[in-house]
Amino acid sequence: MKYEVILTNEAKEEFLRLEKFLQEKIQADYNLIYDFDINAVIIKPLGHKIFEIKTDNVRSLFKYQKDRIIIVGLVFVKKTQKTPKEILKLAKKRLENY
């Protein structure tokens, strides 16, 4: 099942602040999701209906929406093993509007 990947305005800004090579890797993962399926990339459930796409050391936090759309609410470089609670809380807050 193909999914369309949509970034929130905040996630777009975070994406654009990343180095170009990271942007290209993340975009490649988003393209795989669109062209094939969500199972074409590495994802992990984080709870509260929020998931993360793992692209090297960068994470895209998202939720599913009807009609096969993924809303990305946060893009960040992961520096610790576990996703910090404040990052998860911020993603949850941003994604409440969608």
Domains annotated for the chain, with CATH where assigned, are: 4-95 (3.30.2310.20)
- What are 17-52's pLDDT values in tens digits? 999 999 999 999 999 999 999 999 999 999 989 999
Residue 53 has pLDDT above 80, yes or no: yes
15-24, long-range: CB < 8 A, 24+ apart? 15/75, 18/58, 18/75, 18/77, 22/55, 22/56, 22/58, 22/77
Share the mean pLDDT of the chain: 92
Q: How much is the pTM? A: 0.90
DSSP code, position 4: E
